[in-house]
Amino acid sequence: MSGKEHVSALRDLMRQEHVDAVYIGTADPHQSEGVATHWRAMQWFSGFTGTTGYCVITLEKAAFWSDGRYAAQMERELDSSVFELCNTSVQGTPGWMEWLVKNVGAGSVLSMDGEVLSIADFRKCRDYLKQYDICIRHEANYPGMLWIDRPDIPDAPVWELELLYAGESRKDKISRVRSAISDRNADCYLGCCLDDVAWLTNLRGGDHPIYPIFHGYLLITPKEVCLCMDEEKLSAAIRTHLEEDGISIFPRNEVFPLISRLTSGSRILMDPYKTSLKLFASVPKDVHIIEQMDIITYLKSRKNPTEQENIRTSNLKESAAIVRFIRHIYDRLETGTVTEYDLVRDLEIFRRMDPDYLMPANLAIIAYGPNAALPHYRPTEEIHSEVKKEGMLLFDICAHYKTGTTDITRVIPTGPCTEEMRTDYTLALKSNIALATQRFVYGMTGDVLDGVSKAVQWNHSRHFGHGTGHGMGYLLYVHEGPGKIITEFAPPFPYARQVPLDTGMLFSDEPGVYKPGRHGVRLENNLLVQEECVNEFGRFLKFETVTFCPFERSLILTGLLTKEETAWVDHYHEETYHKLSPYLNEEEKIWLGEKTQPLV
């Protein structure tokens, strides 16, 4: 059926069920960053293939929302005679609840799928809509009832992350989680987020093409640790190892009856931003719910010494691949035409040269010229640009190695560049250095440090609209909470303003300069938070740069750098050559040596 036919069939069902509107989004029961096709009802229903979007269907109208990255795609893939197209990046565009209020009357009923709706999102919607006498029904998934050929939940096998990579055993992690449960005056814990489940169990999976996760839940009670997942994903050996470590295996949906059988008077911890309304509703009335940030969210954010050392290694492996990739780009430019999408495919050749490489950690951003002014632009096989022998090329690429996850952005010249381009490159570099070299007293959150990087550009009457950095996972999600270096509230990181940065946390450092229709610059390294000192003024922290990939000396205007910044770049390049050389052949080392010469 087409989108128009899906809307018609849904309206027939709505009339039968006495529902006035249906909301269809892109979430799954785990509030995942990457959602399996099993839960992508919005794409199936509308025909829109982008990763971000949502729609609302009433008995008379329908509207679809996505951001500016997908504006052209919305127009191309959606039937405008069926859907009103709403670009959330355009000022004045009504939000979906505002639109709904204008298109249904008081006493109306809105359906939202409680299996994928978080507690926090439900309350936000409920509190807004009750002002207009609109109630939410959350027991049914009406689009799912129509989705006859709905894909199954992925069934890829899981694998164990060995101790030399994980750095801490399952037993030790469980012990720490139990201590944290007790510290919070609770006796039970519910974990829904897939990276949290993977972290505690030291398991990784293949349920998503760019995130090594598997679908499951954790329920920890005073008597047992319950891992609820599709059991066929487990080999006999892994199952034995889990049971030896005190983990009991249950079918994935058994989490609901397990929760419903909690002992009267129990106190269970759950995160309202990560727990679905359906799970919340399954908790018995005589069990006390304590709503807090997920325990594991914080524990896994502080990488242990083994993880930190492995992160340094993975960054060197990825940087060596990037050196080869840059040389390849110039070779292709000399021998013929090349497109952004060609380079997306070529990149994998150089990564696969390392036996520890597993998969991309995000869809590659390779953006030439004006495309680089769009921070989240991604070329596709259908839509991409040719890379020409002038201007600049930006690539923002993420990778999973057995030794960790990387996120690196560089900009290179593909031919002559203007003074304006070089100025913007240099200002982005200055912002990058500002965060990397900033010391700070313990207690600082990401919103404070965001200003450190942006102040550099404010002094030159420039500003970039995204956060300077995000927390990073270890062979999990490349974007990880609780921390994010951003001034504004960021919904995927609801605790960013509450949780201070601390030792072992890993962040990206990625300031940019974007000039729509002309060019864009972003320069990104990865930073580990380390101890600086403790004195009479308090406990002080610093950043350790763990990414070593050359900056483009030909784009740096040394007159805009301070003496300290110049010294930092020269030392960084000296370290880059020293650290990357063991990963390169002689020809590659000569090339890198030329790229890492002193600025002056």
486-497 pLDDT, tens digit each: 988 777 789 999
The stretch 130-146 carries a mean pLDDT of 96
Q: Taking 80 as the threshold, does the pLDDT of residue 338 lie above it? A: yes
Q: What is the C-alpha separation between 395 and 374, in angstroms, rounded? A: 12
The Cα–Cα gap between 415 and 81 comes to 45
pLDDT of amino acid 490: 76
Overall pTM > 0.75: yes
CATH of 3-146, one of 3.40.350.10, 3.10.129.10, 3.40.50.150, 3.40.50.970: 3.40.350.10
pLDDT at 129 over 70: yes
**Has residue 1 got a pLDDT over 60?**
no
φ, ψ for residue 242, nearest 5 deg: -65, -45
CA separation for the pair 395, 386 (Å, rounded): 14
2 has pLDDT over 90: no
Instruction: Give the model's confidence band at 587: pLDDT under 50 very low, under 70 low, under 90 confident, else very high.
Output: very high
Residues in contact with 245: Cβ distance below 8 Å, sequence separation at least 6, in sequence order: 169, 170, 171, 174
Closest CA to 529 of 495, 499, 559, 558: 499
Helical (H) or strand (E) element with 530: strand 525-535
The length of the chain in residues reads 600
Q: Give the model's pLDDT for residue 489.
A: 78
Amino acid (one-letter) located at 445: T
Percent of the chain with pLDDT over 90: 93
Q: Phi/psi class of residue 417: alpha, beta or left (left: φ > 0; alpha: ψ in -120 to 50)?
A: beta
Degrees, nearest 5: CA angle 256-166-469: 85
Structural domain spans, the chain: 3-146, 159-298, 305-595
- The CATH class given to the 159-298 domain equals alpha beta
Q: How far apart are the first and last CA of the chain?
A: 65
Fold of the 305-595 domain: Creatine Amidinohydrolase (3.90.230)
Same fold, 3-146 and 305-595: no
pLDDT of residue 132: 97
Candidate from 58-72, 199-213, 422-436, 578-592 with smallest mean pLDDT: 58-72
Report which DSSP code applies to 251: -
Predicted pLDDT at 295:
97
